[in-house]
Structure 1
Amino acid sequence: MTPDDRETVVTIGRLLPEDRETWQTLVAGYNEFYGRTMPEEFFDHSWAEFSAGQCIHALGAKLDGKLVGIAHFLTHASTTSADSCYLQDLFTAPEARGRGVARALIEAVAAWARSQNCGRVYWSTHETNATARRLYDQVAENRGFILYTIALP
């Protein structure tokens, strides 16, 4: 049996202090995908926020004990339903793609949101992100909304 033949077991959990360096590498890869380079203080601030687990949250996905995926999310009030959970960042290391990591992270965020009595989980991705959209079309409904943004200084 080759390593690719064995059943993939993805474990999901809170990020641990020993995950910090790999988490930063994954977050940098996520931002690089979208053409952004983040300053060092961004990583320090985000890690502190995720560690506190009060306003914004993070989960990590591990294969064979190695952190290979991350999900960052938050909740906010809704005018039309129970609170909503926004899955802001989702990223899987290139070498772990196709092994169920992103699906497991989405399922874990949805389970967390259910436990918080949220009415929905939602996210956005770039229209050209065909790889991710193949998964998203399987696990969620695209309701056709278009996202507009005003960048503020």
Structure 2
Amino acid sequence: MTADSISLARTRALQPEDRQRWDELWPQYLAFYQQTLPQSTTDLTWRRLMEGRELWGFAGLDDAGRMVGFVHYHFHLSTWSPKGYCYLEDLFVDPHSRGRQVGRALIEAVYRAADERGVTRVYWHTENTNARAQILYNQVGYLTEFVQFRRRPSAP
């Protein structure tokens, strides 16, 4: 780890003044997963992040305090755990800031939030082709044997 890596690994809760930068990063994240969303969904997501009742987020900051990444997470009930689980839903770091421990810092911020809440599990998904992210994920977590299934879209 370099000195640059250490200096860039700062996080804080997302704040209303982050909206402009988040609006720059969010479409990049969606494009990576080849997704588009209506503006109303993007606005709802931001509103939920700011309300901090259903959805929470952290900003990853560079050494100048500029937002270079984000993570979104939420808690849910579980039939296997009295305090529930934490789902890390979205994680993105600006391509120019990757390799500087920002992603790790964001994941660890979620771990701290989950520990404060007392949940027994933090989990997330990524595409099986996202090899670069999986290098980090194997350092901060472990790959389970579970496979995800989804409901098929209904015919029009």
Q: TM (normalized to structure 2)? A: 0.90
CA drift at 1:144: 1.6
- What does residue 70 of structure 2 align with? 70
CA deviations on 1:82-106 (whole Å, 9 max, x unpaired) are: 3100000000000000000000000
1:135 aligns with 2:136: yes
- What does residue 99 of structure 1 align with? 100
For 1:99 and 1:8, locate their aligned partners in 2 and report how far apart those are by CA, in whole Å: 9
CA deviations on 1:54-104 (whole Å, 9 max, x unpaired) are: 011111111021111110100011111231000000000000000000000
1:118 aligns with 2:119: yes
> 2:8, 2:102 within 8 Å by CA — same for their partners in 1?
no
Q: Which amino acid aligns with 1:31?
A: L
For 1:21 and 1:87, locate their aligned partners in 2 and report how far apart those are by CA, in whole Å: 22
- Quick one: structure 1 residues 5 and 100, their matched pair in 2 at CA, closer, same or farther if it must change by over 3 Å? closer
Q: Which amino acid aligns with 2:23?
A: Q
Percent of counterpart pairs with the same letter?
37
For 1:13 and 1:42, locate their aligned partners in 2 and report how far apart those are by CA, in whole Å: 24
Aligned length in residues:
150
Q: Which portions of structure 1, spanning 4 or more consecutive aligned residues, are displaced by more than 4 angstroms?
A: 4-7
For 2:26 and 2:50, locate their aligned partners in 1 and report how far apart those are by CA, in whole Å: 15
SS of 2:126's equivalent in the other structure is coil
1:49 aligns with 2:48: yes
1:29 aligns with 2:28: yes
1:80-91 equivalent positions in 2, closer than 5 A? 80-81=80-81, 82-91=83-92
Runs of 5+ unmatched residues, structure 1: none
Q: TM (normalized to structure 1)? A: 0.92
CA drift at 1:10: 2.3
SS of 2:78's equivalent in the other structure is coil
